[in-house]
Amino acid sequence: MAESSLSRTRRAVRRREFLKAMLVSPALVPGFRSLQSALLAGNANLLSLVPADSSLPGLITSNNDFFVRNHFRTPQISSESWNLMIDGLVSSPLKLPYSDLLMANPVRRTVTMECAGNSSGGIGVGNAVWTGIPLSELLKQAGAKPAATTVILHGADAGSGEDLPANTHFARAIPIERAMNANTLLAYEMNGSPLPADHGFPLRALVAGWYGMDSVKWLTRIELTNQPFEGYFQQQHYVALKDGEHRPITRMLVNSKFLRPSDGEEIGKKIYRVNGVAWAGEQKIAKVEIRFSPGDSWQPASLDSPSLPLTWTSWSYEWRIPSAGKYTLEVRAFDEEGKTQPDVRDPGRQDAYELNTPHRISVSVRL
Reading across the β-sheet that carries 271-279, which strands appear in turn? 255-260, 271-279, 313-320, 302-303
pLDDT score of 41: 53
What local confidence, expressed as pLDDT, does residue 42 receive? 53
Structural domains of the chain ordered from first start = 5-248 (3.90.420.10), 255-365 (2.60.40.650)
Predicted local distance difference test score (pLDDT) of residue 102: 93
Strands 164-175 and 125-134, how do they pair?
Answer: unpaired
CA torsion through residues 152, 158, 160, 161, sign: negative
Please state, in angstroms and rounded to a whole number, the distance separating the CA atoms of residues 35 and 159: 6
Helices then strands, each counted (H, E), the chain: 5, 23
DSSP per position, 168-214:
EEEEEEEEHHHHTSTTEEEEEEETTEEPPGGGTTT-EEEETTB-GGG
* Tens-binned pLDDT, residue by residue, of the chain (367 aa): 334 333 333 443 344 343 333 333 322 222 223 333 345 455 544 444 555 543 444 589 999 999 999 999 999 999 999 999 999 999 999 999 999 999 999 999 999 999 999 999 999 999 999 999 999 999 999 999 999 999 999 999 999 877 788 889 999 999 999 999 999 999 999 999 999 999 999 999 999 999 999 999 999 999 999 999 999 999 989 999 998 899 999 999 999 999 999 999 999 999 999 999 999 999 999 999 999 999 899 999 999 989 999 999 999 999 999 999 999 999 999 999 999 999 999 999 999 999 999 999 999 999 8
> pTM for this one?
0.86
Say what the pLDDT of residue 215 is.
Answer: 98
Res 351: pLDDT: 93
